[in-house]
Structure formats: structure tokens, C-alpha cells
């Protein structure tokens, strides 16, 4: 059994609170596995806790789109049945990861806000509280000046994701985000696109991505890594795919895990807070393996 989680690829040093929350969420998710829960349940439990914390760009802490509305994206996939579900632009619901898992069991695989909200209401998912004045003030300070906003758009992400391996040998992946800063209303990143932001197949591996969705989508990064895992270790597969992301001018990070319990936590960005929980305990760090561009002066 194994569980990995991340709090977004980026340049910013993660706060102590964020690292602590990652630790707590790994503990909770691993507890689900220890109690005989599935990889899918562990992924959902871990991500929901991060969504509830308000410390990451997901759920309660999600970014606003340029019209001041939070539209949340999330996806889950599990490797034994190749089942997947996702929500795009979900408004007013705190745990889009749960909504995505409900969509997965419905006749559909992807729902945008209008349908996802109906399902979320039917399953009594927690509403997302309205944004208060204090939050808006904090946001204004954080994003003061156009330059700063552009910099954040290019370099800072704090999406959340997880992958898990359960006692049956099944794997699953999930991801949840409020998107990026400076988004036009309606912008959709990689997170809810199955094969781009997440992918899980028992025969190959589970992958959860973070970073600039616009680039991740172009090479369907999660599936790219998973397919490379047919013949290669997660680390090797992920490294090769992230080099491809760098070649197209992107930045990303990801979690990759196979059924044998081999895994990688890897990123092109300076940081990617995250960690793993296994039988030997829990490790959380602000960054893991970094893939650097060949000619960094050209970027
Ligand atoms: N991948 C997310 C998106 O493009 C952002 C992130 O990972 O922080 O929406």
C-alpha cells in the first residue's frame, strides 16, 4: 500500500501550514488504505481534506476567475476498471473531487457546472461559502500589480493531487484545482481532462499532474507518463515526459506510481510540496526530483 500527494508545482516556498496539512492528509488517506479502503477512496479522502483546508488552490482556497467567480475543476480515475469522472467549472461546491467521483459512477464521464451541480446537490455535497471581504483584501495584496499577476500565472501553482496503491493491488489517481491566476471566465486547464491531468491503469500506472495546464494538455502528460511506464520505471517515464514539457516551454510536476509500488514525485519547477505515506511512515518535503531544461538560458 502506498499513497502520494502533492500541493502544486511552483516557485513559491510552501508555508509550514501547507506542509503540515499535506502530512495530515497523507495520514488520513493512508489510514483509509490500512482500514481496507480502495485506492480510489484514499485518493478522494486525501484530496477532500486538502480542498477543505483553504490552504491550496482547490476547494475552499481556489483561485477566482477574472469575473470574480471560483470555477473548480477535478478528476478521478481508477486503474482496475479504467473508470474516470470529472467536473469542469463547478461553482458553489467545496469538494469537486467528490463530485468527480459521483460523475464517474453516473452514465457520463465529464460534466460541466450545470450538470455537475445537480449531481452534487443530489448527493448533498458541502456548499462552498461565499468569498468574504477579508479574503478579497488578502487576494488583492497577494496579486498587487500586473507584473506580479503575470509572474504568478507563469510560475506559481498550488493545485492538489494524489495517487494510491491499495491492498488489492489496484491504483487510482485524482486532482483538484481552482485553475491558474489571470484566467478568463470559462478557462479550463488540464486537471479535469482525463489523460492530461490524471490517468490510471493497473497495467501501466497512476499519474496526477500539476503545472501550466495549457501545456500539459498539449502532450496529454498523464497518459504520456503512464504509457511510458509499460517499459520504464515511474521515475524514468516521468523524467522523459517532463523533458517534453520543457521542450514546448511548459512547466509541470507530477506524481507517478505503478502496481509494484515504484513511484516518482518530480517537477520542472523549483518546488512541489508533497510527500508519500507507506509502511515505513510519512515523508513530506517542499520539493523532490527536479528536471531542469537543457539550455536554461534559452527560456
Ligand atoms: N494544472 C492546473 C491548471 O492548469 C494548475 C495547477 O496545477 O496549479 O488549471
69-83, 173-187, 222-236, 242-256: range with lowest mean pLDDT: 173-187
Alpha-carbon gap, residue 155 to 173, rounded angstroms = 24
Does 159 qualify as catalytic in the annotation? yes
Q: Indicate the pTM of the whole model.
A: 0.92
**pLDDT exceeding 70 applies to what percent of the chain?**
90
Q: Which residue(s) pair with 278 in the sheet?
A: 281
85-89, 113-117, 143-147: range with lowest mean pLDDT: 143-147
Give the position of cell 516556498.
13
Q: What is the pLDDT of residue 151?
A: 43
Q: What is the pLDDT of residue 157?
A: 58
Residue 285 has pLDDT above 70, yes or no: yes
CATH 3.60.20.30 fits 2-290, yes or no: yes
Q: What is the pLDDT of residue 140?
A: 63
Listing DSSP states for the chain in one string gives -EEEEE---BSSPPPHHHHHHHHHHHHHHHHHHHTT--HHHHHHHHHHHHHHHSSSSSGGGPPPPTTS---EEEEEEETTTTEEEEEEEE-SBS-HHHHHHHHHHSS-SEEEHHHHHHHHHHTTPPBPPPPPHHHHHHHHHHT-SHHHHHHHHHHB---EEEEEE-TTS-EEEEEEE---SSPPTT---STTSBTTTEEEETTTEEEEEEE-HHHHHHTTHHHHHHHHTTTS-HHHHHHHHHHHHHHTT--EEEEEE-TTS-EEEEESSSB--EEEEETTEEEEES--EE---TTGGG-
More confident residue, 70 or 94: 94
| Ligand 1 binding pocket, CB closer than 6 Å | 8, 57, 157-159, 177, 179-180, 189-191, 210-213
Give the position of cell 507584473.
147
User: Average pLDDT of the chain?
Assistant: 91
Q: What is the pLDDT of residue 3?
A: 98
Q: Whose Cα sits closest to atom 7 in ligand 1?
A: 210
Residue 143 has pLDDT above 70, yes or no: no
Between the ranges 152-161, 180-189, 226-235, where is the mean pLDDT highest?
A: 226-235
Q: What are phi and psi of 176, to 5 degrees?
A: -150, 135
Residue range 158-213, pLDDT digits in tens: 899 999 999 999 999 999 999 887 778 888 999 999 999 999 999 999 999 999 99
Residue 149 has pLDDT above 80, yes or no: no
Query: So where are the chain's domains?
Result: 2-290
Distance 295 CA to ligand 1 centre (A): 25
- Identify whether the C-beta of residue 269 lies closer than 8 Å to the C-beta of residue 155: yes
Q: What is the pLDDT of residue 136?
A: 65
Alpha-carbon gap, residue 169 to 217, rounded angstroms = 29
Alpha-carbon gap, residue 160 to 22, rounded angstroms = 10
Q: What is the pLDDT of residue 142?
A: 60
Residue range 100-137, pLDDT digits in tens: 999 999 999 999 999 999 999 999 999 998 876 766 66
134-148, 191-205, 227-241: range with lowest mean pLDDT: 134-148
Q: What is the pLDDT of residue 139?
A: 60
Q: What is the pLDDT of residue 147?
A: 42
In the chain, the N- to C-terminal Cα span, in Å, equals 40
Q: Whose Cα sits closest to atom 8 in ligand 1?
A: 157
Distance 85 CA to ligand 1 centre (A): 18
Q: What is the pLDDT of residue 146?
A: 47
Q: What is the pLDDT of residue 61?
A: 85
- Closest atom of ligand 1 to 252 CA is 7
Q: How confident is the model at residue 242 (pLDDT cuts 50, 70, 90)?
A: very high
- Choice among 11, 46, 112, 159 that is catalytic: 159
Q: What is the pLDDT of residue 181?
A: 72
Q: What is the pLDDT of residue 132?
A: 67
Residue range 8-56, pLDDT digits in tens: 999 888 999 999 999 999 999 999 999 999 999 999 999 999 999 989 9
Amino acid at each position: 500500500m502506498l499513497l502520494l500527494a502533492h500541493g502544486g508545482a511552483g516557485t513559491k516556498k510552501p508555508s509550514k501550514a501547507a506542509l503540515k496539512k499535506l502530512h495530515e492528509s497523507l495520514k488520513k488517506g493512508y489510514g483509509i488504505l490500512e482500514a481496507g479502503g480502495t485506492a480510489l477512496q484514499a485518493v478522494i479522502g486525501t484530496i477532500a481534506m486538502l480542498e477543505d483546508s483553504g490552504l491550496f488552490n482547490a476547494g475552499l482556497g481556489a483561485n477566482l476567475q477574472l469575473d470574480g467567480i471560483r470555477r473548480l475543476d477535478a478528476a478521478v480515475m481508477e486503474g482496475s476498471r479504467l473508470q474516470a469522472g470529472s467536473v469542469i467549472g463547478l461553482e458553489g461546491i467545496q469538494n469537486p473531487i467528490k463530485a468527480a467521483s459521483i460523475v464517474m459512477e453516473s452514465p457520463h464521464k465529464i460534466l460541466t457546472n450545470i450538470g455537475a451541480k445537480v449531481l452534487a446537490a443530489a448527493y448533498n455535497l458541502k456548499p462552498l461559502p461565499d468569498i468574504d471581504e477579508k479574503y478579497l483584501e488578502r487576494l488583492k495584496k497577494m496579486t498587487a500589480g500586473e507584473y506580479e499577476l503575470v509572474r504568478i500565472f507563469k510560475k506559481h501553482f498550488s493545485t492538489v493531487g494524489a495517487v494510491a496503491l491499495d491492498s488489492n493491488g489496484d491504483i487510482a489517481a485524482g486532482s483538484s484545482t481552482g485553475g491558474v491566476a489571470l484566467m478568463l471566465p470559462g478557462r479550463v486547464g488540464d486537471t479535469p481532462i482525463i489523460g492530461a491531468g490524471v490517468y490510471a491503469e493497473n497495467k501501466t500506472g497512476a499519474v496526477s499532474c500539476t503545472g501550466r495546464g495549457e501545456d500539459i494538455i498539449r502532450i496529454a502528460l498523464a497518459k504520456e507518463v503512464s504509457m511510458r511506464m509499460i517499459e520504464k520505471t515511474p521515475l524514468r517515464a516521468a523524467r522523459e515526459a517532463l523533458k517534453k514539457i520543457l521542450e514546448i516551454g511548459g512547466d509541470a510536476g507530477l506524481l507517478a506510481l505503478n502496481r509494484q509500488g515504484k513511484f516518482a514525485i518530480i517537477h520542472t519547477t523549483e518546488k512541489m510540496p508533497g510527500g508519500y505515506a507507506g509502511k515505513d511512515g510519512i515523508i513530506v518535503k517542499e520539493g523532490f526530483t527536479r528536471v531542469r531544461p537543457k539550455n536554461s538560458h534559452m527560456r
